[in-house]
A and B are shown apart, each in its own frame.
Chain A
Amino acid sequence: MSEQHEHTHHIVSPKVYVVILLALCVGTALTVWASFLELGPWNPVVALAIATTKAMLVVLFFMGVKYSTKLTKLTVISGIFTFMALIGMTLADYMSRAWGRW
């Protein structure tokens, strides 16, 4: 209740949605094209970078996080943070197992 003053009901114009749609389509085409290139270790990096950019566009505009409260932004960030903790700490174990015993 004390946070309701933060509630700004921003209505995004359809023009923005069309631009985002086009950007997402370009991103999809780009990532498919990139997967056919020989980039060595950069293949997954490029694929994930494009996917993350697309996801960011969806989160910021389609889901309206760009126009929403700090609380929503914090919620999204905390989700990413915990997800990274799970992946990062688990992978840290798997990666360092290869280093053997000291």
Chain B
Amino acid sequence: MSDSPAIVHGAPTEAGHSHGEHPAYQRHHFETVEQQADATNFAMWLFLLTEVMFFGGLFCAYLIYRNWYYPAFVSASHQLDVRWGTANTFALIFSSFTMAMGVWCAEMKKKGGLVLCLSLTFLLGMVFLGIKTIEYHEKWEKHHIPGIRYSMQSFLNPASDEAAAAYGDKPLPLDMARHTEIYFFLYFAMTGMHALHMIIGIAILGYMIIRARAGAYTTGHVTFVENFGLYWHFVDIIWIYLFALLYLISRHP
């Protein structure tokens, strides 16, 4: 019973604070650095869980309408350029790789390598967003923005549309053609939400590059880089699914 909790009164003494030398980055309420790293890492995973459920609602909507309006979804998906989509998938996969290497560099305390890897990740993220902008712009020009600027021309008369003609799409009945708008809404909602995550990620990457150049993260405290890595890989995973679901519904002519 000697080690039972003591009933405590009065002010904490200075002695209460001075035991053990803590590194500067250890917050006062943690006992050890490992505890702090574990806790923040776990918190990041839980945050990613909330992200899974957030996207879950969109995936749910996608699956329902894809089942209901399959022909509309096929024709509408032909309007996306599979080459851009593939390029973007490669960009994100490579950025995930450079991010993983960045974490490795931080753990091995290689400052130069870390800055290089983060910069490459930053760059690949920008490439992704650049390509996405081109794609969005094309949708704007072809009047495929649901709710704001929408025309069913490409689906009622596919011969008039280059992309549709290339896949030999047959004209959809008006009733089905109208439902392409739901496909495009889901396309914009899902890729838009994904792009928003990319933008946030890139902003944090920029901040991290500046900090890494000043020598942060390579002194043994790698939690921030690790946790950001988890976020970045998660964004990559979302895209892997979006690519399969939005671009690759059915491409055979």
Contact = CB atoms under 8 A, between A and B. Distances in A.
Q: Give the residue among B94, B229, B241 with the most A Cβ atoms within 10 A.
A: B241
B63 A17 contact: no
A36 B247 CA distance: 11
Contacts of B38: 3-4, 7
A86 B32 CA distance: 38
A17 B46 CA distance: 24
A32 B86 contact: yes
Interface string B78-111: 0000100010011001101101110010011000
A22 to B, nearest CB: 10
Contacts of A63: 229-230, 233-234
A14 B46 contact: no
A60 B252 CA distance: 33
Interface in A70-92: 71-72, 75-76, 78-80, 82-83, 86-87, 90-91
B63 A91 contact: yes
Contact of B100 (A17, A48, A71): A17
Contacts of B1: none
A9 B90 CA distance: 29
Given A7-B34, A62-B96, A87 B56 contact: yes
Nearest to A23: B93
Nearest to A63: B233
Contact of A1 (B31, B59, B230, B247): B31
B86 A87 contact: no
B150 interface: no
Given A11-B107, A36-B251, A75-B46, A91 B64 contact: yes
Interface string B174-201: 0000000000000000000000000000
Given A7-B38, A43-B250, A71-B42, A21 B31 contact: no
B89 to A, nearest CB: 5
Given A4-B34, A51-B244, A55-B241, A25 B45 contact: no
Q: Give the residue among B49, B86, B229, B249 with the most A Cβ atoms within 10 A.
A: B49
24 contacts: A1-B35, A3-B38, A4-B34, A7-B37, A7-B38, A18-B97, A21-B93, A21-B94, A25-B90, A28-B90, A35-B247, A35-B251, A36-B252, A38-B252, A47-B245, A51-B243, A51-B245, A54-B240, A62-B99, A63-B229, A72-B45, A82-B49, A83-B59, A95-B67
Interface of B: 31-32, 34-35, 37-38, 41-42, 45-46, 48-49, 52-53, 56-57, 59-60, 63-64, 67-68, 82, 86, 89-90, 93-94, 96-97, 99-101, 104, 107-108, 229-230, 233-234, 236-237, 240-241, 243-245, 247-252
Interface of A: 1, 3-4, 7, 9, 11-12, 14, 17-18, 20-21, 24-25, 28, 31-32, 34-38, 43-44, 47-48, 50-51, 54-55, 58-59, 61-63, 71-72, 75-76, 78-80, 82-83, 86-87, 90-91, 94-95
